[in-house]
Amino acid sequence: MQKRRLTRTERKRHLEVADWLLRNRSGAGTVDDRQAFVTWLDQAPENRAAYEAAERVMGEASLAIKSDPALETFRAVPARHGRKAAGIVGLLALCAFLFTFFDGRVYFEADAISGPGEVREIALEDGSKVLLNASSAIVYDYSNSRRTLRLLRGQAHFDVARDPGRPFTVEVGDVRVTALGTAFDIRKGKKATSIAVLHNAVMLETPSDPGLRIRLDEGELVSQSASGRFGGISKVDPASVLAWRRGQLVVDNADLAQVAEEIERRFYGHVLFADRSLGDRKVSGTLVVSETDAALNFLEQALGVKSIKAGPLIVLY
């Protein structure tokens, strides 16, 4: 699909946004500058929306840096070559920010990881196979008595080899999914985790509630919210569950936030919302998430949302 080009007006607006953002954050503006900025905001609704989106990007970056304890407590040591020291401090701050923003800790913890846009198959020592969706990661721990894996992020399809003497369990958050001779799919999202069974059955348990046991049979799906609450068991179409293997996402009245997560898996960056309430808007249809521009065009046509690309960031507004 041909990529959508920015119009001349959009390019001009993006340049103006960058200019006003830098001028306002410098603190050196005059009263006249402030009045000119207000006038510019009021010229068009798109001006205000684009500026608020850029402000949100800057805010997200600031929060990401502050959330890193090592960076937050870092103090520069004075040196005679002040300019060189400042450059080193800036480089360290940038590296720490990028490490946090792009989930660098996962790279140290994972045994297997897939990059943005990459679908990767992992053959385990017992003959089981794991297919990782883009931007996903797992850890596995095998012993003589058990086979335990952890889904650190993203989505994976598990095709389990039979071994009655060693249970096959996948841990995702506080949920333990034990295979009963099966193939199943787990998606770990920001707002919910979903488990779907494609063959045979699985048993779900949580250490926080020892009395809770949920059996999922073939063609069934259940989701757990970020608060730990399970929804009801529903029927699911295996072809829809595995659409990600074809670079597609099939959704029916899903949150835009979930769709944004799937788009985010396919490129080196993040998708942000200028207004958090946008993430609650509902989307239905089949999106080609393997092509970022095609997915964004779908959202623009279906919901009327617009996007700004700034390096590794896509802002929806």
Chain centre to alpha carbon of residue 85: 35
Which pLDDT value is given to residue 39?
92
Residue 239 is encoded by which pair of tokens? 């072809």
Distance CA 218, CA 236 (A): 9
Residues 6+ apart with CB under 8 A from 197: 182, 183, 184, 216, 217, 218, 219, 220, 221
16-30, 232-246, 262-276: lowest mean pLDDT where? 16-30
Confidence of residue 71 (pLDDT cuts 50, 70, 90): very low
pLDDT digits (tens, 9 = 90+) for 163-217: 989 999 999 999 999 999 899 999 999 889 999 999 999 999 998 888 899 999 9
Three-state helix/strand/coil letters over the chain: CCCCCCCHHHHHHHHHHHHHHHHHHHCCCCHHHHHHHHHHHHHCHHHHHHHHHHHHHHHHHHHHHHCCHHHHCCCCCCCCCHHHHHHHHHHHHHHHHHHHHCCHHHHHHCCEECCCCCCEEEECCCCCEEEECCCCEEEEEECCCCEEEEEEEEEEEEECCCCCCCCEEEEECCEEEEECCCEEEEEECCCEEEEEEEECEEEEEECCEEEEEEEEECCEEEEEECCCCECCCEECCHHHHHHHHHCCEEEEEEEHHHHHHHHHCCCCCEEEECCHHHHHCEEEEEECCCCHHHHHHHHHHHHCCCEEEECCEEEEC
Of residues 137 and 51, more confidence is placed in: 137
Distance CA 67, CA 71 (A): 8
Please give the average per-residue pLDDT across 82-103, as a whole number.
Answer: 48
Distance CA 225, CA 191 (A): 6
Whether 262 has a pLDDT exceeding 90, the answer reads yes
156: exposed, middle or buried (C-beta count within 10 Å: 0-12, 13-18, 19+)? buried
Confidence of residue 78 (pLDDT cuts 50, 70, 90): very low
Confidence of residue 11 (pLDDT cuts 50, 70, 90): low
Whether 276 has a pLDDT exceeding 90, the answer reads no
Question: What are the boundaries of each domain within the chain?
Answer: 8-105, 106-238
**CATH label, 106-238, candidates 1.25.40.340, 2.60.120.1440, 3.40.47.10, 3.40.50.720:** 2.60.120.1440
Please give the average per-residue pLDDT across 122-143, as a whole number.
Answer: 94
Under 8 Å between Cβ of 236 and 265: no
43-47, 76-80, 154-158, 228-232: lowest mean pLDDT where? 76-80
Confidence of residue 242 (pLDDT cuts 50, 70, 90): very high
Which pLDDT value is given to residue 44?
86
Which pLDDT value is given to residue 72?
46
pTM of full prediction above 0.75: no
Under 8 Å between Cβ of 220 and 190: no
Distance CA 51, CA 18 (A): 8
Residue 170 is encoded by which pair of tokens? 């996948």
Which pLDDT value is given to residue 7?
56
Which pLDDT value is given to residue 68?
42
Whether 77 has a pLDDT exceeding 60, the answer reads no
Backbone angles phi, psi at 49, to 5 degrees: -65, -45
Distance CA 112, CA 122 (A): 8
Instruction: Tell me the range of 63-72, 114-123, 169-178 where mean pLDDT is highest.
Output: 169-178
Which pLDDT value is given to residue 108?
65
Of residues 132 and 59, more confidence is placed in: 132
pLDDT digits (tens, 9 = 90+) for 99-110: 444 555 666 678
